[in-house]
Amino acid sequence: MTPGFYIDHADWTKVLHYARARQAQKVETDKIVKILNHEIGGMMIAKLDKDNDWVLQHPVILKQETSGGNCTLDKTALADYYIEMVVKYGKNIQFVWWHSHGTGSTFWSATDETAIKEFKGGNWSVSL
């Protein structure tokens, strides 16, 4: 049987809250308040459960640069994250890159496809 992929409701809600908070964040410049509508991204891990299914869990936000059409994770923060997760959970995990599109539609952009190739490690990778 092919393994499935699952995410706990609390972890999914956390990702949604991160995305909505960044998209709705207000900034003030020269007494003008505007809503950013920025993307945001982060990482989480996928671990095998007792049924041999992958469970996506522990979403986090790392240091990054964001805009209305892009989010770029800081490479040093990402390297530190990889080390921390392997120390904490061992080598039998997969890394999951996730990000929002702010107010944009749901699709893989050319930037996303490039990032997915950069995050790919081992035989397969997960992007959300």
Q: What would the pLDDT profile of 52-71 be if each residue is shown by its tens digit? A: 999 999 999 999 998 877 88
Q: How far apart are CA 118 and CA 35, in angstroms?
A: 30
pLDDT tens readout for residues 18-44: 888 777 777 777 777 777 778 889 999
Judged against a pLDDT cut of 80, whether residue 116 lies above it is answered with no
Judged against a pLDDT cut of 90, whether residue 128 lies above it is answered with no
Q: What is the mean pLDDT of residues 93-100?
A: 90
Chain centre distance of CA 103: 17
Amino acid at 29: T
Q: How far apart are the first and last CA of the chain?
A: 23
Q: Return the closest-CA partner of residue 128 out of 103, 102, 107, 99.
A: 99
DSSP helix/strand/coil, 58: strand
pLDDT of residue 87: 97
